[in-house]
């Protein structure tokens, strides 16, 4: 459920009509709903209660500092995968004690940054990383709290580019090697073993793969405790999927996910961490664009819009589906017409949808891409020298630009011509 509804025939973000935002900031732009972000966060904490837990928002899905502050102010933790994201979490006022540092290739500089600024735990993904962290922490006279990311060899049954829990993926330490690596971790200076971490993929639409993985984590917890490790925290990752279409079957609800967590690991007395990204941010955002041209092609009509693959990469990158809706509500019995919805970028891959039934649209009409909050703005580029589009945050009847569109001067001035020319 979200807060983007038609009111009096116009699509609103909470209580703000989208044409009002378009008139002020121009199209295309991203718009996020505070109420939706808050509600999704709360669904997770309610689902995990009364277990001791921390919901760590996966910043990589939507990293605007204003959005992080909405969640951080509610008490959310943050899952970061780079020094840049760590800095964003801090800039949003989130204390280090609520920041989990994940990622397969942390550099020594990033480790130092987090150890200096405070960190809840590092999720360590390999032996070389473990040894590097030990060296860095020991050289600073610090202790790094760690969980080892275990690869449980579970098929997440999701898109191959976002499956991470099979043994041929680059992520984590194979579960068969876990005991040996934990033993090494316990001997290393500057390392404090606090728990186990697992994250098997993104946009999962069934609970079974999670349940298989968490059951393995529970068994491993007992084994490692038997080996003398004080396992007190389980980080179960993110990955719960969202509905991208109205028609497809609904993914599991956070409440059912929470019940499954209690069933699989609830008896262990561990503090539970989860790292949802998409489920918090995905349906909390729209991409709003306007129609530039309607072009008649051979056997198909093209809707050429002012947003493109550089603004929203998911369709060209993963073949992902986004519902596209007109901002002005069509009259009830309006017949649909099929369009290929495309952007202006010079690549055939710049296609948002093929043969998509839409009500008739003409030049200047506004359309909204739904479920664009996650992995939208964060993956944008300036390909074709198209400026990064603005991000807008709505709360009730208020809205604010939370990242402005750069000017062309700003973009051009980033390049420098060598003095020898
Ligand atoms: C991407 C990622 C997440 C978030 O995944 P979602 O599918 O957006 O919930 C959480 N943890 C880690 C380690 C990730 O890489």
| Same-domain check for residues 193 and 77 | yes
Query: Quick one: what percent of the chain has pLDDT higher than 90?
Result: 92
| Same-domain check for residues 102 and 248 | yes
CATH at 326: 2.40.37.10
* Structural domains counted in the chain: 2
Question: Measured from the CA of 123, which atom of ligand 1 is nearest?
Answer: 13
Note whether residue 388 is domain-resident: yes
| Same-domain check for residues 91 and 25 | no
| Same-domain check for residues 291 and 321 | yes
Last residue of a domain, one of 248, 279, 310: 279
What integer pLDDT is reported at residue 157 of this predicted model? 83
Note whether residue 293 is domain-resident: yes
Question: What does the pLDDT look like over 208-235, one tens digit per residue?
Answer: 999 999 999 999 999 999 999 999 999 9
Question: Measured from the CA of 279, which atom of ligand 1 is nearest?
Answer: 9
Note whether residue 13 is domain-resident: yes
For residues 417 and 334, the model is more confident at 417
Last residue of a domain, one of 279, 298, 323: 279
Question: Measured from the CA of 375, which atom of ligand 1 is nearest?
Answer: 8
| Same-domain check for residues 232 and 332 | no
| Same-domain check for residues 40 and 132 | yes
Residue of 202, 243, 281, 376 best suited for mutating to test ligand 1, as the one with most atoms within 8 Å of CB: 202
128 pLDDT above the threshold of 70: yes
| Same-domain check for residues 214 and 350 | no
| Same-domain check for residues 151 and 240 | yes
Q: What confidence tier does 412 reach under pLDDT thresholds 50, 70, 90? A: very high
Ligand 1 centre to CA of 139 (Å) is 31
Ligand 1 centre to CA of 276 (Å) is 6
Last residue of a domain, one of 279, 304, 322: 279
Ligand 1 centre to CA of 266 (Å) is 22
Domain that holds residue 107: 34-279
Note whether residue 417 is domain-resident: no
Note whether residue 196 is domain-resident: yes
Note whether residue 67 is domain-resident: yes
Residue of 44, 100, 196, 239 best suited for mutating to test ligand 1, as the one with most atoms within 8 Å of CB: 239
298 pLDDT above the threshold of 90: no
Question: Measured from the CA of 374, which atom of ligand 1 is nearest?
Answer: 8
Query: Is 270 one of the catalytic residues?
Result: no
Question: What does the pLDDT look like over 78-99, one tens digit per residue?
Answer: 999 999 999 999 999 999 999 9
Note whether residue 354 is domain-resident: yes
Ligand 1 centre to CA of 44 (Å) is 15
| Same-domain check for residues 394 and 407 | yes
53 pLDDT above the threshold of 70: yes
CATH at 95: 3.20.20.10
Phi, psi of 338 (to 5 degrees): -90, 135
| Residue nearest atom 3 of ligand 1, based on CA coordinates | 238
Q: Which of 107-116, 142-151, 156-165, 382-391 has the lowest mean pLDDT?
A: 156-165
409 pLDDT above the threshold of 70: yes
| Same-domain check for residues 42 and 151 | yes
Pocket of ligand 1, beta carbon within 6 A: 58, 60-61, 79, 102, 199, 202-203, 237-239, 275-279, 374
| Same-domain check for residues 24 and 50 | no
**Mean of pLDDT over the chain:** 96
72 pLDDT above the threshold of 70: yes
Ligand 1 centre to CA of 3 (Å) is 24
Note whether residue 420 is domain-resident: no
Ligand 1 centre to CA of 122 (Å) is 15
Question: What does the pLDDT look like over 243-294, one tens digit per residue?
Answer: 998 766 689 999 999 999 999 999 999 999 999 999 999 999 999 999 999 9
- Among candidate residues 346, 412, 417, 421, the one labeled active-site is 346
Residue of 60, 63, 101 best suited for mutating to test ligand 1, as the one with most atoms within 8 Å of CB: 60
| Same-domain check for residues 70 and 144 | yes
């Amino acid at each position: 459920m979200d807060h983007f509804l038609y009111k009096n025939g116009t699509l609103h973000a909470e209580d703000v009509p989208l044409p009002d935002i378009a008139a002020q900031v121009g199209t295309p732009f991203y718009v996020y709903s505070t109420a939706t972000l808050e509600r999704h966060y709360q669904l997770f904490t309610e689902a995990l209660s009364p277990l001791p837990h921390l919901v760590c928002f996966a910043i990589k899905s939507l990293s605007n500092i204003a959005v992080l502050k909405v969640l951080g102010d509610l008490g959310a933790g943050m899952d970061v995968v780079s020094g840049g994201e760590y800095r964003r979490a801090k800039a949003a006022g989130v204390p280090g004690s609520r920041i989990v540092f994940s990622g397969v290739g942390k550099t020594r500089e990033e480790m130092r940054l987090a150890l200096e600024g405070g960190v809840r735990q590092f999720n360590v993904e390999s032996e070389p990383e473990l040894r590097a962290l030990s060296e860095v922490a020991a050289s600073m006279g610090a202790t790094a709290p760690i969980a080892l990311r275990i690869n449980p060899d579970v098929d997440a049954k999701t898109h191959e580019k976002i499956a991470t829990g099979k043994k041929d993926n680059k992520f984590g330490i194979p579960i068969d090697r876990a005991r040996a690596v934990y033993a090494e971790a316990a001997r290393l200076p500057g390392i404090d073993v606090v728990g186990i971490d697992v994250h098997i993929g993104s946009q999962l639409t069934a609970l079974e793969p999670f349940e298989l993985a968490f059951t393995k984590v529970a068994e491993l917890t007992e084994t490692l405790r038997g080996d003398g490790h004080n396992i007190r925290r389980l980080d179960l990752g993110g990955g719960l999927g969202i509905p991208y279409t109205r028609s497809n079957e609904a993914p599991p609800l956070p409440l059912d996910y929470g019940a499954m967590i209690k069933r699989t690991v609830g008896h262990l007395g561990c503090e539970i961490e989860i790292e949802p990204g998409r489920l918090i941010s995905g349906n909390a955002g729209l991409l709003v664009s306007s129609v530039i041209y309607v072009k008649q092609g051979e056997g198909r009509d093209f809707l050429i819009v002012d947003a493109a693959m550089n603004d929203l990469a998911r369709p060209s990158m993963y073949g992902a589906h986004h519902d596209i809706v007109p901002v002005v509500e069509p009259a009830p019995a309006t017949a649909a017409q099929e369009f290929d919805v495309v952007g202006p970028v010079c690549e055939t891959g710049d296609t948002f949808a093929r043969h998509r039934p839409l009500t008739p649209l003409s030049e200047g009409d506004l359309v909204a891409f739904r479920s664009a909050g996650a992995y939208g703005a964060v993956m944008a580029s300036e390909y074709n020298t198209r400026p990064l589009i603005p991000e807008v945050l709505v709360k009730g009847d208020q809205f604010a630009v939370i990242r402005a569109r750069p000017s062309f001067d700003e973009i051009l001035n980033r390049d420098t011509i060598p003095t020898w020319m």
